[in-house]
Amino acid sequence: MTFDSYKSPGWSLVQDTPETKFIKCLDLARTVKSYAATEREPVVEPKLKFEAVGVVFLGSFNPQIFQPAWFAAEKLIRKEEAEAAKIQVIHPEVTAFSLEWATLQVTHEHLRADTTTEQQFSPEFLRDLTVGTFRLLSHTPIKQMGLNRVFHFEIESEEVWHAIGHRLVPKKDWEGILQRPGTRVVAVEGTRPDGYKGRILVRLGPSTKFHPGIYALVNDHFEQDENDTRTGAGPMLEIMEKHWQESLERSRKIVYDLMSRIV
């Protein structure tokens, strides 16, 4: 299946749409299986061009606490890092700033910390910062956690790029329904393999950083079990400390196994 097989594109690009939004969730397993039986010309393995690791906590937070000076005072970052921090906003409703190796955004309901290869990529520092923060703020209620990993791959040509979009979402099913249908995002959710409450969500879509390119997101989502009566940040921190490396390795394996099947 190639780009020339259809009059429609394999992917659809909209620059001002966040990656986190998706139009349609489809069954990847079915489309990958159906394609496995077809003959393909060998293609060049996609190049990893960008990577990010992030932590998202859902709970109840006081955004004004989370500013560089506080982190430095608590010895969670160096004084020099706090002084060099790029502050976007510090407000009762939201705090956002970046260090050389991480970005932090906090609202009353969410805390998000990320490190990317566009910075000094430091997943272990990010883990230590978030764990250290909520060891100090141990009474902060945190009920859900996402350990996220994002990859952006450069694809060798637009022809291959469109062909991947057609493999994931065959356009024959859309003939006569839409004009020039293109795949925006494919999202597939699976159950957790470890007994924790939560899910694993995988999203694929056209990269907003490289063209032609594909991004892949793995959201390793945990929720506190209803039978766990503990309060505060402890339950989520316990999971994070025990399973951080396992989560990162699982996310990478999911993405690379999937890319080896669709490219």
What pLDDT, in 10s, does the model give residues 84-135? 999 999 999 999 999 999 999 999 999 999 999 998 999 999 999 999 999 9
The upper half-sphere exposure of residue 84, i.e. CA atoms within 13 Å in the direction of its Cβ, equals: 9
Neighbouring CB atoms inside 10 A of 38's CB total 8
Using 50, 70 and 90 to split pLDDT, how confident is the model at 224?
Answer: very high
Q: How many domains does the chain have?
A: 1
In a domain, 108, yes or no: no
In a domain, 98, yes or no: no
Alpha carbon 206 to its chain centroid, in Å, reads 14
Model pLDDT, residue 48: 95
**Residues 60-79 pLDDT 10s:** 999 999 999 999 999 999 99
**Residues 162-179 pLDDT 10s:** 999 999 999 998 989 999
The upper half-sphere exposure of residue 165, i.e. CA atoms within 13 Å in the direction of its Cβ, equals: 31
Percent of all residues in the chain with a pLDDT value above 70, rounded to a whole number: 83
Considering only residues 244 and 5, tell me which one the structure prediction assigns the higher pLDDT. 244
In a domain, 16, yes or no: yes
**Least-confidence region, from 19-23, 115-119, 195-199:** 19-23
Q: CA 223, CA 217: separation in Å to the nearest integer? A: 19
Q: Is the pLDDT of residue 40 over 50?
A: no
In a domain, 42, yes or no: yes
Q: Following CA atoms 67, 121, 15, 187 in sequence, which dihedral angle do they give, to the nearest 10 degrees?
A: -100
For the chain, what is the mean pLDDT? Answer: 87
In a domain, 107, yes or no: no
- Residue whose C-alpha is closest to residue 207's, from 4, 14, 8: 14
**Amino acid, res. 185:** V
In a domain, 122, yes or no: no
Backbone φ and ψ of 31, nearest 5°? -70, -40
**Amino acid, res. 127:** R
- Single pTM value for the model: 0.82
In a domain, 77, yes or no: no
Question: What domain range is 204 assigned to?
Answer: 3-59+142-262
In a domain, 92, yes or no: no
